[in-house]
Structure 1
């Protein structure tokens, strides 16, 4: 029968060019086996991660053989046994059905084919037992596309990018609308990274498969090793930094560079070294932020009344943040747009990228990014329109970003141009008194006992080290892509499910502090490996323990893959930026406690100690 492997033997020329790159990454070559016989249960890649030299009993976990649900997928947890043959056959039948439904036009739809690979191939192996079909296929496609203009090239280029100053941009705001503004600001930066990806792909004429990772202010992209790549990277970096300097007074800076390396390194341990080298090269740029435009910061300028939200003082004509309240805080245009957008993000299902300027009668909410001309690259203005339906219609649309959507039929719509899945941690309880999500005051009133809010910050411990050397001799491009994808899925997708439907997404053997649904929460940010969440104080505390236990189970209980967090409990009118700082301090105290800890009530203890389990082996035994 046909399987997902058939995509790479399809009539689409983009895919047929990959044959010569399959051997480089270990893709199974032509055999007497049928495609479906090569599909196997996927071993847990997290089992390979080891950061210490101590001997450790080797564990074998396997992902259940499942397809990703069309929407709100439940968290899959690894198991000690392979999926039963009948489960694997059910998944193969779903793959067959999806492929047999494709017509000639569908086989030319790269977005649809990519989604099929992701939907059905994220929890199946094809060749290497711990490399997902989706990751292997995308990696081969990325190498093939990067070498398309010169198949005999001996080198490739790894583009690395990092937006610095995110904390300063997001958290240092104050006003009565800070919660909405904060959520919108974190989302805005996701769109900035998305636009950066789009500009690079367009300049280098590369498909989406060449994006290894993009999120949390970072990106990694595989590209051809040629002068055109260096030129495009330099000009795109200059364009974005000019716009960032003018839009945000230099609070945010883009470090963007490319590193050339031998193409054979993608299949060996040297790729992790190249990854680390590309990342380290960005440090030089970040230490000289806007060095080429220092005169812009030093020349005298007229100061005006500062915005009461972001405190910038270089704009005139401030207006009320809430137009229907005369005594509302005066804010700049950017902060007013952030506030308006923050209330609309609760139900956003699709985001349309377009170069078409909205008309005066168009009430669709949008954001725009105006890049200036640099060198041969002309000025470009891009608009992002937000819809609460997954079937938006925008004339002359460029790309449709579908939020947490894996429904194949949506990607087939003839009115869509280049539909792309956008993973977004966006959970928020709807307000009972106004449009949008609950306010801080509403959530505090839902708390048990005293009316207080909780602010939770968490991130994975030593993630940079995990990517740099956690996989040892197995640190290849497909595996690093797999690690990135699995981390992103947990924080951007599965946390939504855990917040929305607690009982469906927690293994029954995990400890619950209460039987509450604990849904009075708001995700301010949930990204590649970290999060910032607020809500009723007792529910935030409970959610923190749920996240810890579910993440440990998701990672197979690996003792080298841990997470730390910090919680601050305050009144609903407490300045949000201070709550963000203080929850960050609590998180740092947890890191200083040897990691794998929670900072709460001014104390930092291991999660196992907070859960009342003095013997850490007991909690480990639940996952092993």
Structure 2
């Protein structure tokens, strides 16, 4: 119930990328059983020890914190398992997305920004009554998909690299504010989502019909939005690349729709 927009729960599984390779070759000429054991203990300390402190003390971003229920992640994100080099968390879908961004940043700090160490995670979103056993399985499947492009995060059935995801989420949160201020109706945003769904399906088949998105997109936009057209165009399309539909446009549409579920529609 604490989630903004759709009242859904997220199930998140994550682990350290390439850990086997790190153990085998990461220490180079300094390799020894004792050093490998120390590295293993230090990683376990982060997940089984620091994670609890993180959830109790870390504060959600300033804008998020101002909203009802804002503040720390304590009593909002729950640990089902954390230890070794992996974790399994549950929480309101939007809060958990925020939490994993912060957690990954702390992990990078913990490993001294070493490029070899990073996380990949998969997030499965469902109703709160969904069986945890099944949710854990599907979150694991999402994690496997993320590993294909590691280091990455997979959420809402879309995979993004971490730095890309942070930028995209920032854009999405700004667009959510745009919808909240009634500068664009949620119904119109859903039409854009439908256009992007059709575009994506046609693009996979390399069909020329995928280009019908352009006249329909600009027709809906100009008919329904008086101010902020450029912002919306840039949100979905890259003006510098001849208005090419952005790779993350589909994810953006889904995220904003999820986040604005309670907003009045036009």
Bin the TM-score by the shorter chain.
0.5 to 0.7
1:562 is displaced (CA, Å) by 1.1
For 1:600, the equivalent position in structure 2 comes to: 155
Aligned-pair CA distance for 1:543: 1.1
The structure with the larger Rg is: 1
2:14 aligned residue: 458
Q: Deviations over 1:109-145 (max 9, x none)?
A: xxxxxxxxxxxxxxxxxxxxxxxxxxxxxxxxxxxxx
Q: Report the Cα offset of residue 512 of structure 1.
A: 7.2
Paired position in structure 1 for 2:121: 565
Which residue of the other structure, out of 555, 559, 575, is the alignment partner of 2:111? 555
What SS is found at the alignment partner of 1:567? Answer: strand
Q: Which residue of 1 aligns with 2:178?
A: none
After TM superposition, the runs of 4+ consecutive aligned structure 1 residues lying more than 6 A away are: none
> In the TM superposition, what whole-angstrom CA distance separates every residue of 1:294-341 from its partner, at most 9, and x where no partner exists?
xxxxxxxxxxxxxxxxxxxxxxxxxxxxxxxxxxxxxxxxxxxxxxxx
**Pairwise CA RMSD:** 1.8
> Aligned equivalents of 2:52 and 2:123: distance in 1?
19
State the Cα distance separating 1:521 from its structure 2 match.
1.5
Match of 2:72 in 1: 517
Which of 52, 55, 58 does residue 502 from structure 1 map onto?
Answer: 58
Report SS of the residue matched to 1:499.
helix
Aligned to 2:27: 471
1:541 is aligned to 97
Q: Which residue of 2 aligns with 1:480?
A: 36
Mapping of 1:2-17 within 5 angstroms? Answer: none
Q: Is residue 513–residue 542 contact of structure 1 (8 Å, CA) maintained in 2?
A: no
Scaled by the length of structure 1, the TM-score of the pair is 0.25
* Unaligned runs of at least 5 residues, structure 1: 1-444, 614-624
Q: Which has the higher helix share?
A: 2
In 2, the alpha carbon distance for the partners of 1:596 and 1:526 equals 19
Q: Distance in 2 between matches of 1:605 and 1:513?
A: 23
Counterpart in the other structure of 1:586: 142
Shift of 1:482: 1.7
Relative to structure 1, is the Cα distance of residues 561 and 447 closer, same or farther in structure 2, using a 3 angstrom cutoff?
Answer: same
1:612 aligns with 2:167: yes
Deviations 1:384-441 (A, max 9, x none): xxxxxxxxxxxxxxxxxxxxxxxxxxxxxxxxxxxxxxxxxxxxxxxxxxxxxxxxxx
Separation of aligned partners in 1, 2:86 and 2:26: 19
* Partner SS for 2:81: strand
Provide the residue aligned with 2:212 in structure 1: none
1:457–1:531 CA contact under 8 A, matched in 2: yes
Q: Is the 8 A contact 1:566 1:583 kept in 2?
A: yes
**Other structure's SS at 1:514 match:** helix
User: Compared with structure 1, are the counterparts of its residues 553 and 512 closer, same or farther at alpha carbon in structure 2 (3 Å cutoff)?
Assistant: farther
- Give the conservation status (yes or no) of the 8 Å contact 2:77–2:95: yes
**How many pairs are equivalent?**
162
TM-score, scaled to structure 2: 0.57
> Contact 2:11–2:125 (CA<8 Å) still a contact in 1?
yes
The CA deviation at 1:478 is 2.9
Gap regions ≥5 residues in structure 2: 66-70, 169-266
Q: For residues 76-133 of structure 1, what are the alpha-carbon distances to aligned partners after superposition, in whole Å with 9 as ceiling and x for unaligned?
A: xxxxxxxxxxxxxxxxxxxxxxxxxxxxxxxxxxxxxxxxxxxxxxxxxxxxxxxxxx
Higher relative contact order, structure no. (Cα contacts within 8 Å, ≥ 6 residues apart): 2
